């Protein structure tokens, strides 16, 4: 009941004009950016994160959350109309969405995708309302050893973000942690500055994120064919009663699969969308229609996609564990505002959290109300040439990396990491583990050093305490489950696309 009353007060706060505007702009910008070729939710948040710092924390995070789920929805439009999945998680949507578009029913597919995203998004947020405070309450009992175990659990995510080589993922993770150690250590000593004063404050994480995601994305985009693709007639975006009837169970099942998997750190949206699609095909009385334009084949993965994204906020807010790349960047956003994600977030910044959660409901409604009538306009926006988008993004990257600390060194760092990101991409070195360890590394170190300080250097402290031991065992189990799910998803993605794909993120 307390959660409901807190949520209601969150709604009161979320309905202030500025917060509503932040949710509206976030949802619109996110949808727009998600539809632009080559830009997914991760790069969208990376580019826009520094620009939201001019807002207050609540409005900033509301806008970023809007950008996140807007971009997730935007990705489905290109998947359905152009057969271009912005992310691997959109591949199952292409399988039936594009055949529907070719049959002149692209509008109905987009409509169902919007409704499925809305229903699943709301399911996810309802789960967030009830699960996150419970989890956070338990986590309040944590001391440094439990936090260390929790950080270990969070780092198991690396396995699912490592792409095709876990070894490379681990190496990138430790490299990220090494970068995070530049500057002041937990005991106050300056490390790794090699006599250069500018390095004493460490690297700014936003510059690294902008470089690795946004600048690299433009360089990658220059390589890809940039011909405008014409879109045929999309038909009415309002699905028929028959479409709705056929999809309703798929939406619910997809949402449930997505939500449950989204709770597990280490399960990417790609895992849940493929699983939801396969489940729907297995349960269908007409499985032969899948791949030919079955509306359920759009509803289930879209629903799973959004439910996983929304459920990802539960471990993020309650434990400080990001389960996907965009959430890792959102975590960075929370830290910019001085908000420590984890159990104390609900206790110390309850009003903030509940306002953000309430705004998610509002943002999802806005997405549904705006996107159905605007589908035609959005579809035309996919035709903006890369030659216009590219320079705009690059200039925004410079502005974004400069504005965080008003420091030109940060701009230089973004530039260097942009080039490095391009090289990493070419040689298949995954960058998300680097960012994740850069963010979580300092927390891991602090809890590790505090634990050993408590125990007088005795490492048994991590397994003597029941909660810490339980989390460490859960980490090992999760690692095992993640490996199986990733293996399965890779095989399915290979079957669907025809070649090996990187399912990281």
Which residues lie closer than 8 Å to 58 by C-beta, 6 or more apart?
A: 13, 19, 352, 355, 356
Q: Which is nearer to other proteins, 245 or 487 (CB)?
A: 487
Q: Which is nearer to other proteins, 13 or 502 (CB)?
A: 502
In angstroms, give the least distance from the CB of 34 to other proteins: 21
Which residues lie closer than 8 Å to 379 by C-beta, 6 or more apart?
A: 77, 81, 231, 234
For residue 95, give the H/E element and its range.
Answer: helix 91-102
In angstroms, give the least distance from the CB of 418 to other proteins: 8
Distance CA 278, CA 27 (A): 29
Q: Which is nearer to other proteins, 168 or 289 (CB)?
A: 168
Which residues lie closer than 8 Å to 46 by C-beta, 6 or more apart?
A: 209, 210, 212, 213, 214, 329
Q: Which is nearer to other proteins, 222 or 229 (CB)?
A: 222
First-last CA distance in the chain: 35
Which residues lie closer than 8 Å to 163 by C-beta, 6 or more apart?
A: 169, 428, 430, 502, 503, 504
Q: What is the dihedral of CA 196, 201, 206, 210, to 10 degrees?
A: 0
In angstroms, give the least distance from the CB of 268 to other proteins: 19
Q: Which is nearer to other proteins, 164 or 248 (CB)?
A: 164
Inter-residue contact 316 to 262 (CB < 8 Å): no
Residue 163's region, left for phi above 0, alpha for psi from -120 to 50, else beta, is left
In angstroms, give the least distance from the CB of 64 to other proteins: 17
In angstroms, give the least distance from the CB of 193 to other proteins: 10
Q: Which is nearer to other proteins, 233 or 456 (CB)?
A: 456
| Helix, coil or strand: residue 263 | coil
Q: Which is nearer to other proteins, 245 or 428 (CB)?
A: 428
Q: Which residues sit at the interface with other proteins, rule CB under 8 A?
A: 54, 164-165, 167-168, 170-171, 174-175, 177-178, 181, 185-189, 191-192, 215, 218-219, 222-223, 385-388, 390-392, 394-395, 398-399, 402-403, 406, 408, 411-412, 415, 418-419, 422, 426-429, 441, 445, 448-449, 452-453, 456-457
Distance CA 137, CA 140 (A): 5
Counting every residue written for the chain, the total comes to 505
**Which tokens go with 62?**
């509301």
In angstroms, give the least distance from the CB of 352 to other proteins: 22
Q: Which is nearer to other proteins, 85 or 418 (CB)?
A: 418
In angstroms, give the least distance from the CB of 443 to other proteins: 12
In angstroms, give the least distance from the CB of 427 to other proteins: 4
CA proximity to 334, closest of 11, 107, 23, 65: 65
Q: Which is nearer to other proteins, 364 or 475 (CB)?
A: 475
Give whole-number Cα distances, 488 to 7, 63, 494, in Å: 38, 35, 10
In angstroms, give the least distance from the CB of 202 to other proteins: 13
Count Cα neighbours of 269 within 13 Å in the Cβ-side half-sphere. 38
């Amino acid at each position: 009941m307390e959660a409901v009353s807190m949520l209601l007060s969150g709604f009161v706060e979320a309905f202030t004009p500025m917060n509503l505007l932040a949710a509206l702009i976030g949802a619109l910008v996110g949808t727009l950016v998600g539809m632009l070729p080559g830009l997914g939710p991760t790069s969208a948040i990376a580019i826009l994160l520094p620009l939201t710092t001019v807002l207050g924390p609540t409005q900033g995070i509301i806008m970023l959350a809007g950008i996140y789920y807007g971009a997730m929805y935007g990705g489905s439009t290109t998947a359905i109309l152009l057969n271009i999945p912005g992310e691997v998680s959109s591949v199952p949507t292409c399988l039936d969405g594009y055949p529907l578009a070719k049959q002149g029913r692209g509008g109905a597919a987009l409509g169902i995708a919007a409704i499925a995203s809305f229903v699943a998004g709301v399911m996810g947020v309802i789960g967030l309302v009830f699960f996150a405070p419970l989890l956070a309450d338990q986590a309040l009992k944590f001391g440094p050893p439990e936090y260390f175990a929790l950080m270990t659990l969070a780092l198991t995510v690396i396995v699912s973000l490592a792409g095709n080589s876990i070894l490379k993922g681990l190496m990138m993770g430790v490299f990220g942690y090494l970068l995070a150690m530049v500057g002041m250590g937990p005991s106050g000593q300056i490390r790794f500055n090699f006599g250069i004063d500018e390095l004493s404050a460490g690297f700014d994480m936003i510059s690294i994120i902008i470089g690795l995601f946004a600048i690299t994305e433009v360089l990658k985009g220059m390589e890809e064919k940039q011909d405008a693709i014409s879109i045929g007639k999309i038909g009415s975006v309002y699905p028929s009663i028959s479409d709705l009837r056929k999809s309703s169970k798929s939406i619910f099942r997809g949402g449930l699969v997505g939500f449950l998997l989204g709770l597990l750190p280490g399960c990417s949206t790609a895992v849940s969308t493929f699983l939801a699609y396969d489940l729907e095909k297995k349960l269908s009385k007409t499985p032969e229609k899948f791949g030919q334009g079955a509306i359920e084949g759009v509803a289930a993965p879209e629903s799973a996609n959004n439910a996983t994204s929304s459920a990802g906020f539960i471990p993020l807010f309650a434990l400080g564990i990001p389960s996907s790349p965009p959430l890792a960047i959102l975590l960075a956003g929370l830290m910019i505002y001085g908000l420590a994600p984890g159990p104390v977030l609900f206790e110390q910044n309850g009003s903030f959290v509940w306002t953000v959660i309430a705004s998610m409901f509002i943002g999802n409604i806005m997405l549904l109300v705006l996107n159905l009538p605007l589908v035609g306009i959005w579809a035309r926006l996919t035709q903006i040439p890369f030659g216009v988008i590219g320079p705009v993004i690059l200039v925004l990257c410079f502005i974004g990396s400069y504005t965080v600390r008003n420091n030109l060194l940060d701009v230089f760092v973004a530039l260097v990491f942009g080039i490095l990101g391009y090289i990493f991409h070419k040689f298949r070195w995954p960058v998300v583990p680097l960012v994740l360890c850069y963010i979580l590394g300092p927390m891991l170190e602090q809890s590790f050093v505090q634990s050993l300080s408590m125990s007088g250097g005795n490492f048994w402290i991590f397994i003597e305490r029941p909660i810490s031991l339980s989390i460490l065992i859960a980490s090992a189990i999760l690692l095992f489950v993640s490996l199986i799910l990733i293996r399965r998803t890779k095989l399915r993605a290979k079957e669907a696309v025809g070649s090996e794909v990187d399912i990281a993120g």
